[in-house]
Structure 1
Amino acid sequence: MAHALVVGAGIAGETLAVTLARDGWRVTVVEIAPALRTGGQTVDLRGDSRQVLVDLGLIDEVLGHLVPQRGIAWIRADGSRTAAMPVEAFGGNGLISTEELLRSDLARVLHAAARDAGVEHRFADTVEQLTDTADGVEVRFRSGSAEVFDIVAGADGSHSRIRSLRFGPEQAYRRPLGLAHAWFTLEEGPGTPPLDGWALSYNEPGCRGLTARPGHAGQQEVGMTFAASAVPRDRDARLATLEDAFGGAGWRAAEFLAAARTAPDLALDTYDQIHVDGSWSDGRVVLVGDAAWCASPLSGLGTALGLCGAAELAAALRGHAVSAEPTAERIRAAFSTFEAAMRPRATAAQKLLPGRVRMVAPRTRWGIRANALLMRIVQARVLLPLVAFLAGGRGHDDAATGAGPSVRGRSRHAG
């Protein structure tokens, strides 16, 4: 039986794992985290991402985890609105849709399906070395064990370890967008302002933004965006960075900073794109998801690309009958088919809408006002053809505009 190693238990990794297992592969997933990662914000089920879940037979279970949504509103420090976009905008294809769920819930559904399909999961471990052999790829793990696999798929996020080991250092592929973003879950208390189904977005001059949106009952999902091209990894240093960025800021900044100190799922990372101009594969090793093409959360397409990329890779391996005869020639042909299908889509998604970064984090008060005005204007019926034109060709065919940090799920970085 052909044996595949999938590195990273995220959306792309688990989707690939469950599909390969159902196709008759023996599949091992290795994840550096000690358990399935929690946290992350909301993802939607529009377009191809929904179809992948339909094909996997998981759509009904996923729909059972939807978080009620009414739309997104841009607000002043006192909470009054400057603009709003309900879920009905653009025929349901605006910034927030009616079918959204937390990334962690989607990951759990996919993980359970992979486990039921017989996938082996190894947590708290990762890859230390890759060595080509006559029969496959010998993988030496951090735990000290070694094993030969027919293929190795790096689905370990934009900070991919597999990409670094096989294709070169991260700085060769990383394209920072100049922003960083923290996200975590806030537990509501007696004095927590209610959201009533609305995502709220607040900006201050200097590229500072705060967002809160509905989560599970009794919880809100918080985002804090600021200008930065690098962030620390140590938790105390991360908290200090947030204090420096948002100390003295308005709206709910003080509340969010206090909540971040105790949030178990606090995460902080930069907004980057990953551009692998050469092939996504090398011999029997292939990259998929953010490891290959991260378009950044500002694209609003990370989850869709992860789901679709995993499905395309599995389909290519199936089409070339690799599981029956995992020869180097068949594997190369399958990887080529996969890349031909996904490269144009990933490239289109990386072409962010004009002004996308400043739309999320305006520099000035004028920019904040202009953004609110733009959000009102673009919903005018007469401008819908123009909006569709700007979105088209950038992978946004299922959304009228790109999505910001408050309205799209952040992929967790594994490996």
Structure 2
Amino acid sequence: MARVLVVGGGIAGDALALMLERAGWAVTVAEIAPAPRTGGQTVDLRGDCRRVLDELGLLPAALACLVPQAGAAWIDERERRLAEMPVTAFDGRGYVSAEELLRSDLARILHRAAGPGVTHRFGETVEALEDVPTGVLARFRSGGAEEFDLVVGADGAHSKVRALRFGPEQRYRRPLGLAHAWFTLREQPGTPRLDGWFLTHNASGRRSVAARPGRAGEQEIGLTFAADALPPRRDREARFALLERTFADVGWRTREFLAAARQAEDFALDTYDQVHVPSWHDGRVVLLGDSAWCASPLSGLGTALALRGAAELAAALDAAGALADPGRLPAALAAFERTMRPRTASAQQLPPGRVAAAAPKTALGIRVNALAMRTLQARPLRPLIRRAMAGTEHGRDAA
């Protein structure tokens, strides 16, 4: 039986593991986290997300986890609405979808769908990859080495597999000038409720504070600000201090959010980057998802591309007959890349002004952004916007 090592147990990695197990592969998933990851942004079930989950038979489980949505609103420091876009805007193709679930719920659904043909190794990653005549020898952080017919790097924008096989991160990383912190806030008796609305407060200096619905009794918080680099991941105190300095004079509920960040179990902070790798495969090693093509959360397409990429890679392996003859793997990986390149290249072409809209620089920019959101919904423009959204939608993450 052909063996595949998937490094990274996120959406792309676990989706591929499930697909390859069903095709007859023996699958090992190495995930550096000690347990399945929690946290993350809301996932939109439109487009490719819905299609791939339906193909896997997992759509009903995803639909059972939907978070109630009313729409998105842009507010001032007193929570007065500058603009809003209800979930029904543009026939449900607007900024917020009626069908959204938490990324952690989608990850749980994919993880639990795996059968006995998938072995998960948590707290594990690779330290070296060596080509051998019959495959790839993977040396693990915990010690020991094993040979696999195929190695898939699905370990995110900061991929260890990419660094080992294709070169250092700085060769492929394209920072967009913003950083983003996200975490879950547990509501207390006095916590203001969102009533299904995704609220965003922009402050001058490219700072944005957002709260959106999560599970019952929870809110998903996001803090966006200008940055190309951050304190080391291991220095959590320096990261909290950076947030507190950056947002010290921002109004609305910002002080509450900064305090909650320190208590959140799923707190995360990273820069908004894109990843551009000239070739995603080398011999029997291939990159998948953000490891290969991160379009940044600003694209809204990360999860859709992860699921579609996993489906296309599994399909290419099947079409080439790589399970029966691993010698056909290089041709299969080349076919996968030819199929996915156009989708990812399109996703990486952010609309003009997308970065500025996420975190306007000036008070004037904030007003202009709110005006743009109102103008887009003006009756004369609605047919044009509907056609544009219908023509480009492959399935989006929540914005």
Query: Is the Cα–Cα contact under 8 Å of residues 6 and 155 in structure 1 kept in the other structure?
Result: yes
Aligned to 1:29: 29
Aligned to 2:243: 242
Q: Alpha-carbon deviations, 1:119-147, whole Å to 9, x = none? A: 10000011000000001000000001100
Separation of aligned partners in 2, 1:42 and 1:110:
16
Aligned to 1:13: 13
Aligned to 1:225: 224
Report the identity percentage.
64
Aligned to 2:181: 182
Helix, strand or coil: the match of 2:188?
A: coil
Letter matched to residue 397 of structure 1? E
Kindly report which structure 2 residues correspond to 1:263-412, keeping only aligned pairs within 5 A, or say none.
263-276=264-277, 278-327=278-327, 330-384=328-382, 386-387=384-385, 396-397=392-393, 407-408=398-399
Aligned to 1:72: 72
Report deviation, 1:29.
Answer: 0.1
Separation of aligned partners in 1, 2:195 and 2:264:
22
Q: Alpha-carbon deviations, 1:201-235, whole Å to 9, x = none? A: 00000000000000011000000000000112121
Report deviation, 1:381.
Answer: 3.2
Aligned to 2:101: 101
Aligned to 1:60: 60
Query: Is the Cα–Cα contact under 8 Å of residues 93 and 398 in structure 1 kept in the other structure?
Result: no
Kindly report which structure 2 residues correspond to 1:28-47, keeping only aligned pairs within 5 A, or say none.
28-47=28-47
Kindly report which structure 2 residues correspond to 1:85-96, keeping only aligned pairs within 5 A, or say none.
85-96=85-96
Runs of 4 or more, structure 1, over 6 Å off, are none
Q: Alpha-carbon deviations, 1:7-32, whole Å to 9, x = none? A: 00000000000000000000000001
TM-score by length of 1: 0.93
Helix, strand or coil: the match of 1:159?
A: coil
Query: Is the Cα–Cα contact under 8 Å of residues 90 and 386 in structure 2 kept in the other structure?
Result: no
Separation of aligned partners in 1, 2:371 and 2:95:
16
Separation of aligned partners in 2, 1:128 and 1:361:
38
Helix, strand or coil: the match of 1:72?
A: strand
Kindly report which structure 2 residues correspond to 1:76-155, keeping only aligned pairs within 5 A, or say none.
76-114=76-114, 116-155=115-154
Separation of aligned partners in 2, 1:7 and 1:398:
26
Instruction: Show structure 2 runs of 5+ residues with no match.
Output: none
Separation of aligned partners in 2, 1:4 and 1:129:
16
Letter matched to residue 150 of structure 1? D
Report deviation, 1:248.
Answer: 2.1
Query: Is the Cα–Cα contact under 8 Å of residues 93 and 389 in structure 2 kept in the other structure?
Result: no
Separation of aligned partners in 2, 1:381 and 1:308:
34
Separation of aligned partners in 1, 2:212 and 2:375:
23
Instruction: Show structure 1 runs of 5+ residues with no match.
Output: 409-415
Helix, strand or coil: the match of 1:74?
A: strand
Helix, strand or coil: the match of 2:326?
A: coil
Letter matched to residue 317 of structure 1? L
Query: Is the Cα–Cα contact under 8 Å of residues 248 and 254 in structure 1 kept in the other structure?
Result: no
Number of residues paired by the alignment? 397
Letter matched to residue 220 of structure 1? Q
Aligned to 1:412: none
TM-score by length of 2: 0.97
Separation of aligned partners in 2, 1:120 and 1:397:
34
Q: Indicate the RMSD between aligned Cα atoms, in angstroms.
A: 1.4
Aligned to 2:199: 200
Query: Is the Cα–Cα contact under 8 Å of residues 22 and 117 in structure 1 kept in the other structure?
Result: no
Query: Is the Cα–Cα contact under 8 Å of residues 93 and 386 in structure 2 kept in the other structure?
Result: no
Of 384-393 and 70-79, the range deviating more from structure 2? 384-393
Report deviation, 1:397.
Answer: 2.5
Letter matched to residue 371 of structure 2? L
